Every structure is written in C-alpha cells, then in structure tokens.
Structure 1
Amino acid sequence: MNFSIQPELENEQYQLIPLSQGDFEALYEVASDPKVWEQHPNKNRFEKDVFKNFFNGAIESKGAFKIVEKSSGDIIGSTRFYDFDENKNSIFIGYTFYGTKSWGRGINPQIKKLMLDYIFQYVDTVYFHIGKENFRSQTALERLGGKKIAEEEVAYFGEPTRTNFVYEIKKENHF
C-alpha cells in the first residue's frame, strides 16, 4: 500500500472521503451552527465567508476529509492529516469538527482510531493542535491516550494566530 495523507478510510458506520470543492455547501450546512465553534480558537467559522476560507485551506492541504455516516449518506463533519514530517517520522491530525447532532455518540473515537490505525503504518508519532480553551477536544484526546507536550502559537490558514496545546500519541502507545 502506498502512503497517502488522503486515502479513503472506512469502518462499519463511517467513511472518510477526500474533501472536494463540490462538498462546500453540504459541509457548510454542518459548520453553520455557532455551537460547533464555541470552544474553538476561531469562534466565527460558522460565518459563511470565514468558513469558505477554512474550506479553501482544507482543499489546499490535500489531506482533508469529509466524514460520512454510511447509513444516511450524510456528511457529519470533517478532519485532516497535515504537516507530514519525514525527518521526524510524524504527522498531525486536526481541524476536526462534527455537527452538534453527532456529539455524544462516540463518533470521534471511531474516526480517530480509523486515522491512527492507518497512519501508524507509516509514522511513529502523531501530533494534534488543540485550542487552549477547547476543553471538549482536550478531554477527548486524553481519553484516546494523547499526552500534552507543549503550547505554541498556531497560524491558521488566513485566520489570526492562536495559542494551542500540542498533544502527541506514539505508535508504541496506540492500541
């Protein structure tokens, strides 16, 4: 299997399909709820122009996915691989969001497991940037075995720089 940061991945319930330009309206429908972004460093991504910039950054990353619920065919969110570093044998997973109707259903651990199981075939360390006030995502990542290792300023695509925590999961600690 050839390494790609944008493969199609799936389990029994969900598919990760490479994001394409034609997905904008369906994904914006999920992202247009202000609650989705309330703990995120960039809280105004529910605004169409701001989300369009976020979406363009996702397309340009060439590592972004739409998350599709197989039973309904609905797009329920998005995530991506980014910043692959061959020298450090590492990559980031992030920019993940789900519509509020998907919250509390145990979806995120399934999606992260799909991504981690795949990417640990190629790298030894996966990093995550999480906004310092995004307590929901911090808790979710700690439940997956993520360890907070740093704090840094992150420059988002066309958005203001924000303080994030850096978490890591090592291949040898992944179950």
Structure 2
Amino acid sequence: MNLDLQPTLENELITIVPLKADDFEKLYAVASDPLIWEQHPNKDRYKREVFENFFQGAMESKGAFIVYDKATSNVVGSSRYYELNEENSAVAVGYTFIGRDFWGKGHNATLKKLMLDYAFQFVNKVILHIGATNFRSQKATEKLGAVKTGEIEIAYYGEPIKWNFEYQIDKAKWENK
C-alpha cells in the first residue's frame, strides 16, 4: 500500500498541506477560540498549554495537515490521517477543527471530500471518531454518508479518556454517492 499520510491536496476552495512545527502560532490563532471546542470531548483545547499537547500529537502522527482558504490564504483549520490499518484496508480521518469564520461555507465538507477521495485510492474503509457530545460533527459526518458502527473510549494524545462514536464510510458507498 502506498498511502502517503501527508500529501498536498487542493481544489478551488482549499489547500491542504502537511503540518510543520513552525505552523503552531498560526494554527493556534484559530484553535484559541473556545466556541470551536464547546461540543468537543476536550473542551479546554483552546488553552495554549492544552493545544501545545494536541499540536505535539499532530506532529508525531506524521499524518496531520494545516488547511488554507485559497481565496484569502487564511488558515481554515486542521485535520489528519491516522491509524492506517493495511490488513483491514482502512485509515482514520479526524482530529479536524475548522475556524468559525469558515463554518457553514463548505470548507469542512470540501476538506473531508478531498481527504476521502485521496484515501479511497488506497483503502476500502475510512473510520471517523467523533465525541459522543459533538453533535455538530456527528451531523456533518452523517451528511458524508458515514454510518455509526460503535461506541468506544479514546485517549487522545496525552489527554484523558473520552467517550466517542465510531463511524465508517465504505469505498463503494462513497464512490456511488
């Protein structure tokens, strides 16, 4: 399997590029908004010291991205590929957050579409983990055609265990959408 976990992807709305250490300040400028995290299991991720831990996990994942709006070059947010499972032909997509300036404007759906289209060139399943109280993200995930397959506890990098819902999108369903 030749799935590169950090390709550069783009379309007319956004550019997705591999996250680098020197992206911290511009990404934290977006992540420092408490309202982004109000439904997330880790509601205090807007705090610098908590976000520093998140960012460190993103860097160590070797699958994280920073996302830019093409029209303005402003930072939209971040996402990543993780948990590549070649045996089961699956990869997870997540750890996504989008700045409120871009909510409801198609950036999240476009981000996921680019990432899913790319992943499905190499795998047959994409997994998404969504916090049990993150109704906004659950709804967005279901709009993509994802189906809830379970409920699990997840310990994000250096953070307490939180209850999450696991969703799955199958390649055949995605391609027929």
1:17 equivalent to 2:17? Answer yes
CA distance in 2, matches of 1:148, 1:19: 29
Query: Percent of pairs identical after alignment?
Result: 53
Partner of 1:50 in structure 2? 50
Q: How does 1:1-175 map to 2 (within 5 A)?
A: 2-174=2-174, 175=177
CA distance in 1, matches of 2:73, 2:27: 13
CA distance in 1, matches of 2:156, 2:74: 27
Number of aligned residue pairs: give it.
Answer: 175
CA distance in 1, matches of 2:37, 2:129: 15
CA distance in 2, matches of 1:3, 1:84: 9
Q: Give how far 1:3 is off.
A: 2.5
CA distance in 1, matches of 2:106, 2:21: 28
Q: Give how far 1:70 is off.
A: 1.1
Contact 2:19 2:65 in 1 (8 A): yes
Contact 2:67 2:77 in 1 (8 A): yes
Q: Secondary structure at the match of 2:29?
A: helix
Q: Secondary structure at the match of 2:136?
A: helix
Alignment gaps of 5+ in structure 1: none
CA distance in 1, matches of 2:24, 2:107: 22
CA RMSD after TM alignment:
1.0
Deviations 1:82-110 (A, max 9, x none): 00001111000000001111111121111
TM-score of the pair, normalised by structure 2: 0.97
Contact 2:13 2:107 in 1 (8 A): no
CA distance in 1, matches of 2:130, 2:2: 29
